[in-house]
Structure 1
């Protein structure tokens, strides 16, 4: 029987068993939100049947029926079979079809405003009675109201699978689905390999997902019939979707005024999210100087591998468990709990009963509440090795981990000694501080500026060095010890009596402007602890001297290497890529993970120091600004920093934000790749700065010409190309077009899809080559100067 094609006189949302949809015809949901029909992607002629947002022209496809079997021309037609199933045909071949077990009576196919394509019996709109629905067979997008998980009655698994590419919706390498363990949890899989796990649902959120999604009510349902995650919107006027794109799942929000998707959250968000990074019985912390640390009572299985930052072999017990009352449980706060492969769950007992259950079972390694709402309830026990544990910056939950009683006794003795020593040392520091303050007061210092410094530094938990100690260490600030100079003073190398090498930043006398920066730097760095930030050892304010004492970086500043034709040859691409990641991690900490939200405002190559292993350390916080709460931007009438690294909105209008640092990072990224400073470069008949030069090569599809000739043999082309792409996204004209540093790390460390960069922001006038910049410890100052010549605003 030949079914007639439906003749559309107006937009309709359904077809009956006697109608069909041919290529060029569509169904539109009742409220005009979604549309069903045939479409092509990119420049291909392949045709797909799918669903998309009707009024969103960019990246609007949310479901594809024949994603693995495209139609080669416009001959496709969607019809009902005699059994009531939908069937997509190309000529005489079946391309795709539905199947269901329920009895069909006058079936109707309808596209709903939720984006769900349903087959139902005519007149029956009860969702529980749908014969079939596309929400049960998702593609790469999770819409509000969709279920991600399992129907235990039928064995149906609902999971997301990435597209192969933006122009190819066929099944990609990554999927996001629910593992049916005793304590279920979601995984992102790369093929059959685990790539990332969310952690189990703890009543409030997934244990390993620290970001709270705004405008969403999330829920996890677990019963005898179903296990699934779903979300609804608090404000239905906002368009939100969750997509799996390569190795990450991302929350996208449509910005109607700007006509673009804003990526709100990308997960996984940092290195500690990578599955199994630290191996068994270890915890991963992105803010620690060493990312992976063995749990209390455990030591690295291979110390040699551990020392090289290869942590995947994990840790082993120092002492065997004695079981029952002789063992103790160490409480870890704010944790992504271990993988739940070998767990036992009882939702009806409390934490004390849970502790007793674990204590009486010699194989039990850890326990916690299964539901952390309120005072907590339920019990989860872990058996065997504890795998993929992470310290969460926000979120997470308490976790109690077993420790040998004898190991704990020794630990307590060490703790007692440490506490006693710390109290004594703290007392000595306090006495010394009191002495210094009294000495200053007895001298009746008349300078208001000095009084200001004293009052602001007096309450810092930071060692105050005696001036004699520092003058001895630097050989009385000998010229032979001088290693750098900047706008506010000089930097000297020194050696303390205990043999430690230090870098001493000496503020110029009479520099009223520099005093403010001195106080800022002390107060900021004293509160910051991260492996990619330079460590402040102490300070000295005595007489006219104002000194900052830093750890010494043996390899100096980044600019002294990458801009040197000889030294640059010894910094190959893997080392440069390592440095890029380290700088990005440091910025993520400043912008997001530290107790204060900090904008550096003077990120550049000379303010990145390298230790003996070429680990990068961001330095010089004299220009930095702090924010509290959710504030991310500010303005100033006093423009400080270094031209060439400044974002346009900051240099011109004094507006700064975390996106100002992102702009500076983009410049620095280009400099690391090409080994040139951001200054005038010739390209054809044009004189361009480095950004303009990179953009021109990008448009000409010759971006790889940027690569420093000294690293061409060692570079990984795909990594370099991604770095260039990311750098151009970072230097966009408008702050809202630049990614966050969290997104930057994600883009650099994965194969995720990236948007095309727009024309970068250039200064529309010539800028003098005088550098307004601060000094950095450990290095002779290089010329981070820039002349930008006759460039039109883009």
Structure 2
């Protein structure tokens, strides 16, 4: 059958060698060959073969027919280029349901249509640029609008069709001569209230603001000549956005995501014979995503860009010293903290002409009035602001934000009308500043009096409760002096036990999603629909209280996209920590699983590596206190819906203040295989300890193998030793997970492995800091040569049973002699002798090694 088809294709092609044809349709008896074109109804678009620039490759694509400047709007085989001198190409319908591109050797591209149909199918190109495959009843079997490339045309949707399982987004060309998809995308974030985001990899670069029926809140500049209208659908079946040109279908318009990462809207001007730019994004540096961080607003004068707080009267920089140095990553905070506990002390202040914040942590209801929206927000202590989803602020529609407001910007009052009204939560004293007047003062006095009364009652109840059960002081008691002065600055919302019990179905087994040293972890859903993860302190856990203290102290004030967000805690009877819920669980469940590992292609893994690096940089350098994690490993990296990494589990982390960079401990805790040698042997930890763990993690992500437990058969190396051996032999690509063969970018893979080896060097001073690591990962300069890594020694001994032994720093009940040597290379072991000696200063007694025929047992 296949041979007959190919023969028929060849015979048909011979008839087209001399004459090129302009086809109106493609059917079972009609083909499109190299020299043919399929033309739309009135000749606006044509489908045919083209060669971009001087690439020498041939592609099938849709372009404008009557425009002298070749403008391609859709490419079929963008992943499968063909040399221009390759075999002749034929586009035909196969099995009355699939549109297939052949050469005389193989199939190049297919529509992969799975719908079965009776009768003859045909292909037409419509005047809107949509290539459609339909049956005799004109039912659409497949259409190019469902598979956008780099261009959005009027009427083309971006978004998600839940019913058919299709997502629509733009992906830029790699270059002007290479239509292959790059890592730059543009499309809606549909997980919460929809808004368009321009991303590179998994990182947002520009955000258009939440959708409305007329425009986006982040777009304030429009053409005075061309008026765009928007079609927005948000329901259980579909979330989509499309644009059209009002009352003028003769204007040719397109929105293109170019290879430079810009989103450009253009119209064709016949008089000047060129595409005229209507607007492009990002327009300026202030369009950079979240450039001024939480509660910040960006502005540009004639000289430079600068950040200020959203409202300088009510907000101030979180870190004034950094802010004065034009380092805005720490953002702004309220001058007067919120006080949600009294129930009457908070209110809202209206800000106009604002680019509404990122909706990543939000909730919406299209039928709720603005007054109902305000009440809904006041009922939740984590609700920071609300707005009307309608662009004019009229009618129903409620959008509320939890946690800090990110990527806000006050738009210019002149020259645009893209801003929206937002109501930001404020303390009562800030509301008084706004109102003024004697009447307000009287009301304020009454409120203050009532507040004082309620505070008095609350204090009495607090002390009474404290005598009865554990309270918040138990969380922060025993805080090290370096951070005890910051206890009062912790603003962690308190949840009632009843609220969390209700959210987790009374901690049902069905909602249990994991368990760690702290205790079990449960998934829950709050009344407002927000999904949460709840850590419940196990009554049998000996370290749970200490871990809870540390978790609260270390991350209650941290704000970074690559750190898991602590939403609050509960101290009512039981101790609970409430986090944001991350649906894809932990990294180890993917990279060490052959089936799920295939879901992480190289682009996703490289993005995870860079995300972890950015999170560590924040902990080591940019956070309020320098924090050393001490237990960085694959199971402590959680993945959000888009596979973005978030560092979690700060139970054994340590916080430093001032210029302190390292410390010593007698209690070595952590996970073998990720520990640095200076920490495992001498209890000395620093930011370079985390760097070592990061290096191990990088090698695991690239290889899909665990460092601990991996044995290279030929040489008996562990993963680090195996990587070092491959590096010396110039064969680093052999370390890569086989499932990445098709998706990998070899230069990035090689660079990542070499960075990993630089991070696991034996001497801490030789390891790079995380700022250097990030530059090495994303840069192109030649990397330094790594020195021999730590924990590297050929295994030449029999496996030993350590079930009753001890090692420096703690128990190693499940560690073999061979693993012991890998963990502690400063211990030398003679295969032929019967003694082992160590160089750790704190160890006085030497251990005696007894050698038997089958195993060696180390005893004190």
TM-score, normalization: structure 2?
0.46
The higher-RCO structure (CA 8 Å, 6+ apart) is 1
